Amino acid sequence: MPKMKTKSSVKKRFSLTATGKIRRNVAGKQHGMSKRSNSFIRKQRGTKMLSEADSTIVAQFMPYGRK
């Protein structure tokens, strides 16, 4: 049986935590920061966890990500 391929877009955008949750970057921080409020910029720091419904979809594209 051949190896399954991981989607390249998924491996660039998502990562796994030690407990198996899927971590994502926050949206809206690439450009145009001058028009955003300081509170918005503070809230968008760091990473977020995917919801359970979305993580089942993304996990299909990471066949070797979690067991």
pTM: 0.79
Q: Which residue has the higher pLDDT, 67 or 16?
A: 16
CATH of 8-60, one of 3.30.420.270, 3.30.300.30, 4.10.410.60, 3.20.20.10: 4.10.410.60
Chain-centre distance for alpha carbon 47: 8
Q: How confident is the model at residue 9, as a pLDDT?
A: 93
Q: Give the start-to-end residue ranges of the domains of the chain.
A: 8-60
Chain-centre distance for alpha carbon 61: 12
Q: Give per-residue pLDDT as tens, 20-56.
A: 999 999 999 999 999 999 999 999 999 999 999 999 9
**Residue 66 confidence (pLDDT) above 70:** no
Angle CA 60–65–66, to nearest 5: 90
CB atoms near residue 19 (< 10 Å): 6
Q: How confident is the model at residue 16, as a pLDDT?
A: 93
Tell me the Ramachandran region of residue 50: left when phi exceeds 0, alpha when psi lies from -120 to 50, beta otherwise. beta
Phi and psi for 7 in degrees, rounded to 5?
-65, 130
